[in-house]
Structure formats: C-alpha cells, structure tokens
Amino acid sequence: MDIKSVSVIGAGQMGNGIAQVFAGADFEVRLYDISKDALDKGIATVIKNLDRAIARSTITEADKTRTLGNITPVTTLAECGTVDLVIEAATERETIKQAIFEDILPHIGKDTILTSNTSSISITRLASRTDRPERFMGLHFMNPVPIMQLVELIRGIATDDATYNAVNAVVEKIGKTSSTAEDFPAFIVNRILMPMINEAIYTLYEGVGNVQSIDTSLKLGANHPMGPLELADFIGLDTCLAIMNVLHDGLADTKYRPCPLLTKYVEAGWLGRKTKRGFYDYRGDFPVPTR
C-alpha cells in the first residue's frame, strides 16, 4: 500500500511533532484535536520549530511554507477518516485511546491502517477493540519528534505483514530509523528507560542524594545528556507514572513498583515542564530543584 495521506489524532507535545515530520516529507496531513485551543497551540509549536530550523540553516523559508501547506487542522474525527494512515497520539490512557478508535471507525476506508503512538499500552488489546486488528500496529515516536531519530514499530498478535511493511516504509520516507519491538509492556525504550528514572526517584526519596547531585552524577558519571530527574520533568511525571503502572501491572514484578514520591508529585499536579513544577521549579529565569 502506498501511503500518501495521514491523520494525526491529538495536537499535543507528540502529535504536533508527528504532523510536522510527515508534512515536511510531503505527506498530506490532517491534524485533529478535540480542543480548538490545543489545535491552535499545536500549529504554533510547528511554526516555532520550523523557525528554529530556519535559524540553524537546516531548512529554508520555502520549506517552511511547503510544510505548513501540507497540514490541515481539523476539529472532527469525520474529517480524519479519508486517509491512508491514522496515527493516534492522545494522552497515555487506554480508555481515551479506545474511545478514539471506536469513534473514528465509521469514517475510515476498508484499507486504512490504524496505529497508536502509545509508549506502553498493549497493541494487541487496543487492536482487538477495532474492526481491523490485522491492519493495526504501534508506531511509537520519541520526544521531541522532529529531532529524535528512532521510531519503535510494534506488531500486535494479529498485525499482518503487509501492514508492517507499509508502515516500515513510511518511517523510511520521513527520514527516521525503525526498531521492531514485541508487544510486551513498555516495548524496548521505556522498558529500559523508565525503571532507570524510577530508580533515580527512589534515590531521591531515600535521601541518597538531592535532585542536583543525582542529575549531575548521571550527566558526568554516565555521560547522559540529561539527568534522569530532568528527563522525567521533560517527559511529564504523569506519563512516567502511567508507564511504570503499566510495567508493574503487566509484568507483576515488584522491581517495577512506582516510587511513592513520583505518585506524590503527580497527585500534587507537579508534572514537570508542562506545569512549570516537577523535580525542578521552572517559574523563574532558571530551573531550581524542588528537593
């Protein structure tokens, strides 16, 4: 199947980046969000990203105009249906994702491929709630999408070869590199990354080190570009907690138990950069550790 048109469901942190890279590769893109404000904010983020790329001389003004011309903002799922590929990029909550797929089914063609950008939820289970489990798979981009090279491809138990090959070809067309993961909780990247972040939070919780010492130790001692607590704030602490809960529930191993301090921060609404407070306070000119 030659995929030329794409609908991205969700214009948030991941969705607008996915829309940008597809539009930049000359796919026809429809960007949907239930909130008009979120949709406007998503388009504004794409424009900001493109302006940064122009400043770095990696694209031209003509590239920016072409990319934006390939994106059509839409506010109904009915407008998302007549495409070759649907990419769901909504909040990391299974009930929300299931509702999106159920609502879009009446509007899509028989050959449309459905994918989810979920970072941890069972692809097989999501696919089973649709009318096309053989044409459903995981398409997990890394954040920030325009910069990060990797895309995880996850086959559900029913995903057929034609669907996998078509989606894999799309990843190549947008200039990304794919890795194939089996459909187990959190796949590859987050199966490894999130327990490390959770362990860093336990290290803070148990008083082994403060926020600054933990992040400095991993940046300078392990040559990580970001410390684990800084990275958790960037990802979103609610997302980190959701993935740890999927790991803990799905694998039934106590080593995946979310740190109580992570739960406490999420309960407080301190979710990281997006709420201006997490393990760092971002309300001033410079991030300040909160512990």
Residues serving a catalytic function are 119, 140, 152, 190
The number of helices, as runs of H, and strands, as runs of E, in the chain is 11, 10
DSSP 116-144: E--SSS-HHHHHHTSS-GGGEEEEEE-SS
- The number of residues in the chain equals 291
Give the type of residue at 53: A
Using left for φ > 0, alpha for ψ between -120 and 50, and beta otherwise, residue 10 falls in left
For 12, 15, 68, 108, the CA distances from 73, given in Å and listed in that order, are: 13, 12, 10, 18
The pair of three-digit structure tokens given for residue 211, joined into one six-digit string: 């926020």
Which residue pairs from 105-109 have beta carbons closer than 8 angstroms and sit at least 24 positions apart in sequence? 105/130, 105/131, 106/81, 107/77, 107/78, 107/80, 107/81, 107/82, 108/81, 108/82, 108/83, 109/81, 109/82
Give the relative orientation of helices 211-221 and 189-205 as an angle to the nearest 10 degrees.
140
- Burial-class residue 117 by CB neighbours within 10 Å (0-12, 13-18, 19+): buried
CA angle (240, 178, 273) in 5-degree steps: 30
Longest pairwise C-alpha distance within the chain: 56
Using left for φ > 0, alpha for ψ between -120 and 50, and beta otherwise, residue 223 falls in left
